[in-house]
Amino acid sequence: MSACQFSSFRAAVYTLCQPTGDRQLSDSWNNNWTNEERLVAASQLFSASCKGKSFSAQVLTRICPQLATSLRAAHETNDLSTAGYISRTLVALLVRSPELNERELIPALFHLVVGGGGGSNGGGSDLVTSPLQPHNHASETTQEAALHVIQSWCSCLGCLPPVELTENEIRYIHSLAANIGVGLSAGGGGGGEYRQRERSIAAIAVETIAAMYTTTCCLLEGSEEQQQHETEALAALLLHKNAIAFEATATFLVQSLLSLLRHPDADTRIATLAIFDTWLSAPTPNMPTSRESNATTTKKRNNNTRKTRGCFPNVEALTALLQQLIACVNLQGLSTSFLTADARDLPEEAHMMRRETTDSIKLVGAALGAHYAASILLQLAENAHRQEDVFQLEACLYVANLLPKNSFLETTAAEAEAEAEAEAEAEGNGALLVKDHHLVESLLQLGTASITPTAPKLAGTALTLIGGLGSLLGDIYSTASPETSLAAFSESFTQALTTIISTLIQCETSDPKLARNAATTLFRLAGISSIARYISVHLPAAVEALFAWYRSQASFQGVAVAVCNNSHSKYPNDITTSEFVLKSLCFLGARQAQQSLLCEHARQAEDALTGGMISLVTLHLKSVALVLGTAKIGSNEIKEGDTSLEEAGKQLGHLLLNAATATATATMGIAANKEESTGDDIQNLSSSILECSGSLAVLYPGTTEICIQTILILAVKDLVGALHALTTLTSDIQEERPGMEVGQAITHVAVEIAEKVFKSCADSSQNQRSDAAFVALLHFLVAVLHRWPASLLNLSPSLEQVVLASLSAASQSWNRDICESSLALASHVLHNTSIGNLDNGTTTTAWHAVLSFLLAACCGGQPPYMLPSISGVVYSTWMHADNALFLHIFTSAMATPMQLPGGGAAPWAAWTQDMLAKSMNYLFSEASRKDEKQFKRVFKALCGGKKKGINGAPPARQF
């Protein structure tokens, strides 16, 4: 800064400080700035600028160019705190300068900063007279962004000289944008005199900055973190309480950003969607005061049914956004090879765009209200259907499927109540229901009409939509009153179901993907009790045709071909069409039909087992598992005393035991002369037996012991699968059956398997298989403890040893499954009143060891995402224990030497005794006891915050 500039700057500072009569403040400010204590100087200047009532243009021409230069310098040295104070001072000064016209003020401010300073004796836009310096190093992307900025600016505020923005200059604008609210509030401190001016300037500033800022954000290349930071700053700017002209501003921005959703660059569209999501998620500004709110409470009773619009000014803007989102997911232009009924066949870019728009669609639906949004989509879809625009129709149905369908009825009913409560009460619920289900009926009819094999992508999307409407359809039938006429609705529903079943049967050969999609939809509908009853009563012919089709597919030859084809497909783990149909038939069929299916497949599996045909045994047991699983889902509907499946269950239990015995033999001798078996064949058979055993034991108490024997036999070959089956069985048993010692049998298995797994995992040469077994064991032990808390007291190794071993394994491997499952087990052990009795000296020692491991884990021994969960366990343990005794054990655990990554010491080891004592008092204070969040914050600080550790980023889940 030259001597002349500094002299002018100093005079301006004296002028600023005159209203306070504090010349010492001005001298202090100059000294601090000269000595490069800029943060203190900038803070003092901001305070001075807020105390005066008004400033003349002369003051502005002296100080503003210098502040602009200082702002640039602060950003270039990454001194963001100083830059913030300078930005606020600039805004506060200009707000308190009545000589400036509002429409000139904001362009002058940004021209000043971007142009690099300069000054004159004029006011308004004459504040900047020095010529702008071109920036030849600006990238092509930056120049394109600048062009969009200038175009938006000119359309709103009038023409400005052409200017090219560099990335640094965008940071200056960002600084001003982030601090505009603070500066305005401070600048308005003179009372009502400046209130109207402040509000007017705020509206213009928001409009101008946001137009420049959003366009530049979307087009500039930057890291994801930087884009997120800029988006949050823009949202904060828009939400500022002084933005009185908010609706006009937001409308302008929505119009500008909607055009960016049509930008050819996918990254630009995604960045724009992120901004929309931020606005939609934010609370609406300018909420009424408490007096206004009380006055309108009765009038707006339906407010609770529609979520906040976020930053969107009106319904028209939201509707325009919804239409543009439909355009974003439109698949027009793609090759027909991508447009199959399987969504996974879409190219990656289309996948990414649909994935990124999902949240935006849901937020728009919530803001508009699901019923209103669905009505708009229905109208657009019907227009597309009349015009035979397959791509637009598919896009509309896809978007409709993402809306919260259960709100279709609820929102409409609530709105009707708010609009005409007395009339609604007089008409009764039936009248409202007729009005509500009209939308669902229209969507159902349109979806049915869209199921055409010639357009598989459209047909697949329509089927998905109909399946998603299932819960809504079930509600309509289950809540309909006798006075409500559902004749027209039933006709539409019957047509939809007939179309689905016929598509399934006809397309199995010509279009297997569409047939599988139809089977999936049928399964989703049949799983709803009221719909299943409707199909069974009103569509017996369709059910019979479906059953006949399944029997033809489930023959030995048919099943073998289907499985063979599926094993060589792109997605071999998919549930097949035949399996979906079998599940649907089980839902639709009576108990007698289930029994016939169960007995038939059990008999065929017995024949195949005797004949040594392993693959056929597996296939039939897979069908049995599906039948049992379906029966288990509907077991709450089985009438007391119903033994229709009991005999079949006992026969199946012996079949499974025999199959398990045969599977466990090393040579599989029954298959030696019939077919050549492989390891995969035996593994598949073992999995099918385990799946059957778990469901069978839950359904039929008399088979529990034999099923446990079966699982224990297979544990020799498939330890992980056996543990999963036992965990499922343990979790599903809600109460002890008369005459059955299930807990004792489960405990016996747990003791036997735990010792085996513990020994294998104690080996330093752990592999993925032993890790998987360890995780499965931990899940199993948690399930047993949850059901029978005192059952594992005599476990060998002890339960405490298993907990410590699991925590140690988690610290060594950083495998997420081991970390989470070991913490779950530790939590059960610490909280259980039988095991965690602090009067027991042995248990106190175990608590000490477990807490030491948990503290080490929080200090970097385990991945940082585990810290909140671990602190939650420590807090809940404190809640269950004696306060003084727990504090003693916790303090002792802190004093225990820890083996931390890199060999470092615990963070609190470097603290002074006084600081540590204060932290401990705060951690275990009464306030922390009542506020878990406070406890977690202090605990996190005690452990040094989140640590990356020496293992780097944690691996994804493996099991």
933 vs 275 pLDDT, higher one: 933
Please report, in angstroms and rounded to a whole number, the separation of the first and last CA atoms in the chain: 64
Tens-place pLDDT, residues 382-400: 999 999 999 999 999 999 8
- Name the token pair of 722: 């056996």
Identity of the residue numbered 179: N
Query: H helices within 52-118, ranges in order?
Result: 57-76, 80-95, 102-115
User: For position 668, what pLDDT does the model report?
Assistant: 43
- Kindly report the backbone phi and psi dihedral angles of residue 842, in degrees, each rounded to the nearest multiple of 5, phi listed first: -65, -45
By CB neighbour count within 10 A (0-12 exposed, 13-18 middle, 19+ buried), where does 632 fall?
middle
Q: Are residues 808 and 954 in the same domain?
A: yes
Rounded Cα gap, residues 10 and 104, in angstroms: 26
Instruction: For CA atoms 528, 529, 533, 534, give the dihedral sign.
Output: negative
- Name the token pair of 138: 């600006």
Place of tokens 């055409």: 452
Is 517 in a helix, a strand, or coil? helix
Give whole-number Cα distances, 945 to 912, 918, 937, 949, in Å.
18, 18, 9, 12
Q: Which residues of 871-910 are buried (b: 16+ CB within 10 A; e: fewer)?
A: bbbbbebbeebeeeebeebbeebbeeebebbeeeebbbee
507 vs 171 pLDDT, higher one: 507
Last residue of one domain, picked from the residues 686, 710, 734:
710
Rounded Cα gap, residues 469 and 205, in angstroms: 46
Q: Has residue 669 got a pLDDT over 60?
A: no
Confidence of residue 829 (pLDDT cuts 50, 70, 90): confident
User: For position 463, what pLDDT does the model report?
Assistant: 93
The number of helices, as runs of H, and strands, as runs of E, in the chain is 44, 0
Is the CB of residue 157 less than 8 Å from the CB of residue 107? Answer: yes
Residue 490 lies in a domain: no
Which of 51-65, 899-913, 919-933 tops mean pLDDT? Answer: 919-933
Residue 549 lies in a domain: no
Rounded Cα gap, residues 94 and 57, in angstroms: 9
Last residue of one domain, picked from the residues 710, 741, 776:
710
Q: Are residues 920 and 809 in the same domain?
A: yes
Q: Are residues 824 and 706 in the same domain?
A: no
- Name the token pair of 808: 């140690």
Is 522 in a helix, a strand, or coil? helix
Q: How many domains does the chain have?
A: 2
Rounded Cα gap, residues 729 and 724, in angstroms: 9
Is the CB of residue 168 less than 8 Å from the CB of residue 197? Answer: no
- In sequence order, the 6+-apart residues with CB closer than 8 A to the CB of 656 are 621, 689, 692, 693, 696, 706, 707, 710
User: For position 937, what pLDDT does the model report?
Assistant: 82
Q: Are residues 701 and 832 in the same domain?
A: no
742 vs 944 pLDDT, higher one: 944
Residue 648 lies in a domain: yes
By CB neighbour count within 10 A (0-12 exposed, 13-18 middle, 19+ buried), where does 572 fall?
exposed
Mean pLDDT of the region 253-261: 68
Tens-place pLDDT, residues 744-789: 666 666 666 666 666 655 554 544 445 677 777 777 777 777 767 6
Is 498 in a helix, a strand, or coil? helix
Rounded Cα gap, residues 799 and 480, in angstroms: 54
Count CB-CB contacts under 10 A for residue 865: 12
Rounded Cα gap, residues 12 and 18, in angstroms: 10
Residue 291 lies in a domain: no
By CB neighbour count within 10 A (0-12 exposed, 13-18 middle, 19+ buried), where does 191 fall?
exposed
Last residue of one domain, picked from the residues 649, 675, 710:
710
Q: Are residues 691 and 815 in the same domain?
A: no
Q: Residues for the chain: how many in total? A: 959
Confidence of residue 312 (pLDDT cuts 50, 70, 90): low
Rounded Cα gap, residues 434 and 443, in angstroms: 15
Tens-place pLDDT, residues 361-370: 888 888 888 7
Tens-place pLDDT, residues 490-540: 788 888 888 998 898 888 888 889 999 999 999 888 878 778 778 877 788
Residue 902, domain extent: 801-959
Is the CB of residue 633 less than 8 Å from the CB of residue 625? Answer: no
User: For position 365, what pLDDT does the model report?
Assistant: 84
Task: Give percent of the chain with pLDDT exceeding 70.
Answer: 44
User: For position 256, what pLDDT does the model report?
Assistant: 61
Residue 913 lies in a domain: yes
- Name the token pair of 167: 């990335």
Instruction: For CA atoms 381, 387, 392, 394, give the dihedral sign.
Output: positive
Mean pLDDT of the region 844-854: 79
By CB neighbour count within 10 A (0-12 exposed, 13-18 middle, 19+ buried), where does 701 fall?
middle
User: For position 262, what pLDDT does the model report?
Assistant: 76
Mean pLDDT of the region 291-319: 47
User: For position 830, what pLDDT does the model report?
Assistant: 78
Q: Are residues 696 and 812 in the same domain?
A: no
Is the CB of residue 396 less than 8 Å from the CB of residue 384? Answer: yes
Q: Which residues of 472-482 are buried (b: 16+ CB within 10 A; e: fewer)?
A: bbbbbbeebee
Confidence of residue 349 (pLDDT cuts 50, 70, 90): confident
Tens-place pLDDT, residues 609-647: 666 676 667 766 776 776 676 665 555 444 444 555 555
Residue 893 lies in a domain: yes
Residue 857: alpha-carbon gap to chain centroid: 26
Least confident of 31-35, 114-118, 327-331, 827-831: 114-118
Confidence of residue 795 (pLDDT cuts 50, 70, 90): low
Mean pLDDT of the region 422-437: 41
- pTM: predicted TM-score of the whole model, two decimal places: 0.53
Confidence of residue 478 (pLDDT cuts 50, 70, 90): low
Residue 760 lies in a domain: no
Q: Which residues of 364-390 are buried (b: 16+ CB within 10 A; e: fewer)?
A: bbbbbbbbbbbbbbbebbbebbeeebb
Place of tokens 């599989």: 668
Confidence of residue 333 (pLDDT cuts 50, 70, 90): confident
Confidence of residue 28 (pLDDT cuts 50, 70, 90): low
124 vs 527 pLDDT, higher one: 527
Q: Are residues 935 and 823 in the same domain?
A: yes
Is 7 in a helix, a strand, or coil? helix
Q: Has residue 435 got a pLDDT over 70?
A: no
Q: Are residues 693 and 815 in the same domain?
A: no
Mean pLDDT of the region 815-830: 80
Residue 149 lies in a domain: no
**For helices 512-526 and 529-538, angle between their N-to-C axes, nearest 10 degrees:** 110
Average pLDDT over the chain, rounded to an integer = 66
Is the CB of residue 700 less than 8 Å from the CB of residue 707? Answer: no
Q: Has residue 43 got a pLDDT over 80?
A: no
Radius of gyration of the chain (CA): 35
Tens-place pLDDT, residues 449-473: 999 888 999 999 999 999 888 877 7
Task: Give percent of the chain with pLDDT exceeding 90.
Answer: 4
Q: Are residues 700 and 817 in the same domain?
A: no
User: For position 241, what pLDDT does the model report?
Assistant: 38
208 vs 867 pLDDT, higher one: 867
